Structure 1
């Protein structure tokens, strides 16, 4: 199931999808993100994660334009504690290394530190490989 979230202009700024075969919630953010879009989108991704009891999230910011530090405090003090409470254990964050969004992602990583297992990647494939390895380490059947 794919959820598309639109801004007030009717443009999609986030798609959220649970991939059952790999047990990952995939968030694909697009364009510039306002505080309201971040709160709405992050809450939607958390709802999907909770609904499917999924502990692994791939957050793709490779198509985000500009920083999102304006929502960093909310993410670290509101969203992240709820995500951890609902069972999120691993958060792969994909950014374009040349973007302002990468700076925001590094700030988020610093703020979350040991509260949530989070890594930053340059590609979706690298993020998925890390999540797959984490899943195998927790359930090495």
Structure 2
């Protein structure tokens, strides 16, 4: 069951992975993008979740303003949460992939992040954490 849904994103809790799962279906920017990430982080806090799976295959490019917001505003809050393991399924678009690369590599002191080219490997990695 979805915790949050928009045209761009579905946020779910996956008990088998003990993870918040972000399924991006389309391009999102501004308030839509930020609200989705905040909803996911709220679920991390609610569930005391250590794992995060972001499936970005269909996401699209992240705007420079949203990348800056993610790095300056969202990352500090995420890295101060129970979150410890972030599995990222990379976007299919080369341009979109470049737009999220910097955001994914910036991780907190207690957080491990890995990028995967398919969802099965990302889920397997989280199960082993």
Does the TM-score normalized on the shorter chain lie above 0.5?
yes
- Which position in structure 2 is the counterpart of 1:3? 3
- 1:36 equivalent in alignment to 2:36: no
Query: How far apart are the structure 2 equivalents of 1:81 and 1:114?
Result: 8
Unaligned runs of 5+ residues in structure 1 are: 7-11, 135-141
TM-score normalized by the length of structure 1: 0.81
Say if 1:67 and 1:103, in contact at 8 Å, map to a contact too: no
5+ residue gaps in structure 2?
Answer: none
Q: Which residue of 2 aligns with 1:71?
A: 66
- Tell me the matched-pair count: 128
TM-score (norm 2): 0.87
Aligned residue runs from structure 1 range 90-109, under 5 A: 90-109=85-104
**Which structure has more strand as a fraction of its residues?**
1
The alpha carbon displacement at 1:56 in A equals 0.3
Structure 1 stretches of 4+ with a deviation exceeding 4 A read: none
Describe the superposition over 1:41-79 as per-residue Cα deviations: whole angstroms up to 9, x where unpaired: 000000111111101000111011234443112112211
- Alpha-carbon distance, 1:113 to partner: 4.5
Q: 1:21 to 1:109 in 2, by over 3 A?
A: closer
Shift of the 27–128 alpha-carbon distance from structure 1 to 2, 3 Å rule, reads same
Question: Is 2:82 the counterpart of 1:87?
Answer: yes
Once residues 79 and 41 of structure 2 are traced to their aligned partners in structure 1, the CA distance between those partners, rounded to angstroms, is 10
Aligned Cα root-mean-square deviation (Å): 1.7
